[in-house]
Amino acid sequence: DQQVKQNSPSLSVQEGRISILNCDYTNSMFDYFLWYKKYPAEGPTFLISISSIKDKNEDGRFTVFLNKSAKHLSLHIVPSQPGDSAVYFCAGVAQGAQKLVFGQGTRLTINP
Amino acid sequence: DSGVTQTPKHLITATGQRVTLRCSPRSGDLSVYWYQQSLDQGLQFLIQYYNGEERAKGNILERFSAQQFPDLHSELNLSSLELGDSALYFCASSPPGLNEKLFFGSGTQLSVL
């Protein structure tokens, strides 16, 4: 039962352009969503989050959008930089639950 | 550096063997989580401990067990290893009252041959 799905295993974007990473979920009990970024040989690091009561959260070049009716969230990176090349995981968590449920990840490559 | 320490970084062993993965959480964090990342798979939640007690369990095999010690470090024991157990095993910790934000270690790459 894949509660969180990232249907694009990889994405390639030109430097300076916008990167859009997508994530779908099935669990209506999720009330908090997070994006993590992972470089090779390192553990995932927290990037940005959004509560289910909001539809947008912005932090510098990173913006997360949440569409609850569609059970869809997206991460926008603009402008994209070479250092953004990494694997991005989205995750959902339900109130009172003790675990984050992660998607499979999307490998983002920023081309110069 | 997340502050979460995992050892060893790499482990190569044979089928049928038993291994122990170790994790030291960030100073002050009481919760420890274990996740497994297999090829083409996301991060699969295995188990969580809070201040020494098991708090939540995911799809953890019966051949796997974990514990959290009084000094809050945790160990994940994998026994009767199979080829399919080859994966990257991550430990994470979270501050009290902030279960959503996890700080991950750099992982232990387990290869079962």
- In B, minimum Cα distance to A106 occurs at B42
DSSP-assigned states of every residue in chain A: --SEE---SEEEEETTS-EEEEEEE--TTEEEEEEEEE-TTS--EEEEEEETT-SEEEETTEEEEEETTTTEEEEEESS--GGG-EEEEEEEEETT----EE---EEEEEE-
Residue listed under structure tokens 């991550």: B90
Q: How far is A30 from chain B (nearest CA, A)?
A: 11
Whole-angstrom distance, CA of residue B25 vs CA of residue B39: 25
What is the CA B16 to chain-centroid distance, rounded? 20
Task: Tell which of A99, A102, A104 to mutate to test the B interface (max B CBs under 10 Å).
Answer: A99
Whole-angstrom distance, CA of residue A63 vs CA of residue B41: 25
Instruction: Give the 3-state secondary structure of residue B56.
Output: strand
- pLDDT tens for chain A, 112 residues long, are 679 999 999 999 999 999 999 999 999 999 999 999 999 989 999 999 999 999 999 999 999 999 999 999 999 999 999 999 999 999 999 877 778 999 999 999 999 9
B109 touches chain A (CB under 8 A): no
Residue listed under structure tokens 């430097």: A15
Q: Do A102 and B42 touch (CB under 8 A)?
A: yes
Q: How far is CA A107 from CA A3, A59, A92, B45, B90, in A?
A: 20, 21, 19, 20, 19
A28 CB-near residues (< 8 Å, 6+ apart): A71
Q: How far is B43 from chain A (nearest CA, A)?
A: 6
Whole-angstrom distance, CA of residue B14 vs CA of residue B88: 16
B89-100 pLDDT, tens digit per residue, is 999 999 887 767
